Amino acid sequence: MTGIAEATRIGGSVDAHKGTGEDMPDGRQDSGAMSAMLEVRDLVVSFQGAKKSWNNAVEGVDFSVRQGEILGIVGESSCGKSVTSFSIMRLHNERSTKYQGSITFDGSDIFSLSPKQLRELRGGDIGFIFQNPMSSLNPLMTIGQQLRETVHAHQTSLGKEEVEASCIEALEDAGSDDPKAWMERYPYQLSGGMLQRVVIGIALINHPKLLIADEPTTALDVTIQMQLLKVLRGLRDKRGMSIILITHDMGVVAQMCDRVEVMYLGQIVESAPVDELFAHPRHPYTQGLLAATPPLDGDRPERLSTIPGSVPQLSEVAGSGCRFASRCPFVADECRKSVIDMQSIAERHGARCIRLAEIGEFRKVAS
Ligand SMILES: Nc1ncnc2c1ncn2[C@@H]1O[C@H](COP(=O)(O)OP(=O)(O)O)[C@@H](O)[C@H]1O
Ligand code: SF4
Ligand SMILES: [Mg+2]
């Protein structure tokens, strides 16, 4: 499995951007607490359900992102990746959402920001790319109008020519080969791949320090996906910004990320630098995801493993015990008895599993 990470990396070395990686006491990975661009600590996100009950979607999530680092958050559908990423900009409906824990971005406590400060942050210092580009574009406005509007919302002092130059630069950086022509068009006149480049351009236009990309290429075909991943990687290299890349695809993590947080049912279950994770995956869920990932170096096996079962509802596994127990091939009685904390494995590597010694480094989960 090491080969996935080594053989398919997009772009050059990431060493210049890597954090110092100070260890946290329980083995979770801190990408350098002194200079983290973003720190998420013990985040709990609860949504109001029927009869005014509150249901947690994310519990005890910890991670940080340094300047210039690409952090991957990976997991199957419904594991809490989007809930976590939306929380960084407080995008959930505040009347039906409760947050606990802390999120600090560039020194600011996100949960203390006023509505005005939040508006300045969104599309300013933090850019966001959603999975479906049409959800963030207005079909009745040209691409140029939408780009200009985003600049005006955050940089009021720029003159007309500077605004035009910013729009063109953002589209070029997002990989447009003809930005002026694109600016004249309406969204319906562009292909899915072009639209996603426009959305990347809009996210970039105010020079964000952090770009959050939530499954940005999932709806696109493989060739366009590769092109867009290269664009994102190039942007990190050119602009030095940090990126959180949300994906369900371990292949994308291998190609793009410096570090990775594996999420299962609202929790981080394994955290490590990407090379370490691919060389020494320890949590059974990570091992299952890797076994289900086709190698990208062309050496494709006849049949890939799958993780048995599907992600349950959090309410179904509420209470103490390991959340992966219902699908874990290594489950034992002790796994269901107590809350499972992150266990330290190596420098900058932790996993939420109490049977690491018995499981060993990598065993394929039976399909
Ligand atoms: N606004 C919401 N209200 C209630 N539950 C939600 C809301 N948004 C997401 N959830 C639930 O939270 C869990 C995690 O969802 P999500 O973060 O979207 O998963 P994913 O990892 O696929 O991005 C899911 O069970 C989902 O149904
Ligand atoms: S704690 Fe037990 S059930 Fe959970 S991942 Fe480890 S072995 Fe599997
Ligand atoms: Mg999602």
Residue 352 has pLDDT above 50, yes or no: yes
Domain for residue 133, yes or no?
no
Token pair in block for residue 49: 């359900």
Out of 61, 76, 77, 78, give the residue to mutate to test ligand 1, the one with the largest number of ligand atoms within 8 Å of its CB: 78
Out of 355, 356, 363, 365, give the residue to mutate to test ligand 2, the one with the largest number of ligand atoms within 8 Å of its CB: 355
pTM of the model: 0.89
Q: Classify residue 294 by its DSSP letter.
A: P
What per-residue confidence (pLDDT) applies to 325? Answer: 94
Give the C-alpha separation, 73 to 259, whole Å.
9
Domain for residue 35, yes or no?
yes
Q: Which of 43, 35, 21 is nearest to 103 (CA)?
A: 43
What per-residue confidence (pLDDT) applies to 29? Answer: 45
- CA 363 to chain CA centroid, Å, is 26
Q: Classify residue 366 by its DSSP letter.
A: P
Token pair in block for residue 313: 């509802």
Ligand 1: list residues with CB < 6 Å.
Answer: 47, 57, 75, 77-83
Q: What is the CATH number of the domain that holds 30?
A: 3.40.50.300
What per-residue confidence (pLDDT) applies to 164? Answer: 96
What per-residue confidence (pLDDT) applies to 218? Answer: 80
Q: What is the pLDDT of residues 20-68, one digit of tens each?
A: 344 443 444 444 444 799 999 999 999 998 878 898 999 999 999 999 9
What per-residue confidence (pLDDT) applies to 7? Answer: 47
Atom of ligand 2 nearest to the CA of 354: 1
Q: What is the pLDDT of residues 158-211, one digit of tens each?
A: 999 999 999 999 999 999 999 999 999 999 999 988 999 999 999 999 999 999
* E strands, 54-208, in order: 54-66, 70-74, 97-105, 108-109, 126-129
What per-residue confidence (pLDDT) applies to 301? Answer: 61
Give the C-alpha separation, 269 to 57, whole Å.
15
Range of the domain at 247: 2-125+208-359
Ligand nearest to the CA of 81: 1
Give the C-alpha separation, 310 to 308, whole Å.
7
What per-residue confidence (pLDDT) applies to 302? Answer: 63
The band of 365, judged by pLDDT with boundaries at 50, 70 and 90, is very low
Domain for residue 366, yes or no?
no
What per-residue confidence (pLDDT) applies to 34? Answer: 46
What per-residue confidence (pLDDT) applies to 30? Answer: 47
The overall average pLDDT reported for the chain is: 86
Q: What is the pLDDT of residues 63-76, one digit of tens each?
A: 999 999 999 999 99
Q: What is the pLDDT of residues 218-256, one digit of tens each?
A: 878 888 888 889 999 998 998 899 999 999 999 999 999
Q: Which of 171, 211, 165, 163 is nearest to 194 (CA)?
A: 171
What per-residue confidence (pLDDT) applies to 13? Answer: 37
How many folded domains does the chain comprise? 1
Q: Classify residue 255 by its DSSP letter.
A: H
**CA-nearest residue, atom 26 of ligand 1:** 78
Q: What is the gyration radius of the CA atoms in the chain, in angstroms?
A: 21
Ligand 2: list residues with CB < 6 Å.
Answer: 284, 322, 324-325, 328, 330-331, 335, 340, 353-355
Q: Tell me the residue length of the chain.
A: 367
The band of 135, judged by pLDDT with boundaries at 50, 70 and 90, is confident
Domain for residue 184, yes or no?
no
Q: What is the pLDDT of residues 279-319, one digit of tens each?
A: 999 999 999 999 888 776 666 666 667 888 888 887 777 67
- % of the chain beyond a pLDDT of 90: 67
- % of the chain beyond a pLDDT of 70: 86
Residue 259 has pLDDT above 70, yes or no: yes
Domain for residue 326, yes or no?
yes
Ligand nearest to the CA of 48: 1
